Amino acid sequence: MTINPYALSPVASEQPLVAELVDQQAAWTLDFTLDLDDVLRWNAYFRKKSPAMRRQFYVAWGVCGFAIMFLVGLVPWLLLPNQPIEWPAMAALAVFAAAAWAGYPWLYRWKVERATRAVYS
């Protein structure tokens, strides 16, 4: 028995996919329902367990961290080379940068889930 997984996709349908697979040779029947929450959960599991997806996430997180360090570390000295350093402003910028870098995993998951939801609904 062959099953086409693309034929079972819930793309552009509001109703959950209800299917019945029957194999006459093995004498079994499988009934299942696939809705948007199932697709989102599978996508989250795949993002968490796939080595390629994890590598993509960590590379993007590293690039984000490097860009934040560059902005916090060099841009004030490049834009204002002859000005005294305002340490309270630099400390506030560093705290904001650390919060932005720490919040990247949450933002990444939110954006990917939103994109997945847009594809399947």
Give the pLDDT confidence of 27-59 residue by residue, as tens digits.
777 777 778 888 888 888 988 899 998 998 999
Do 21 and 49 lie in a common domain? no
Do 14 and 49 lie in a common domain? no
Do 17 and 58 lie in a common domain? no
Do 53 and 26 lie in a common domain? no
Specify the long-range contacts of residues 111-119, CB closer than 8 Å, at least 24 apart: 112/43, 112/47, 113/40, 113/43, 113/44, 116/39, 116/40, 116/43, 117/36, 117/40, 119/11
User: Which of residues 28 and 8 earns the better pLDDT score?
Assistant: 28
pTM recorded for the entire structure: 0.60
pLDDT at 15: 60
Do 74 and 21 lie in a common domain? no
Do 98 and 84 lie in a common domain? yes
pLDDT at 12: 46
| Domain housing 26 | 5-35
Do 69 and 22 lie in a common domain? no
Model pLDDT for residues 57-106, shown as the tens digit of each residue: 999 899 988 888 888 877 777 777 777 777 787 888 888 888 888 999 99
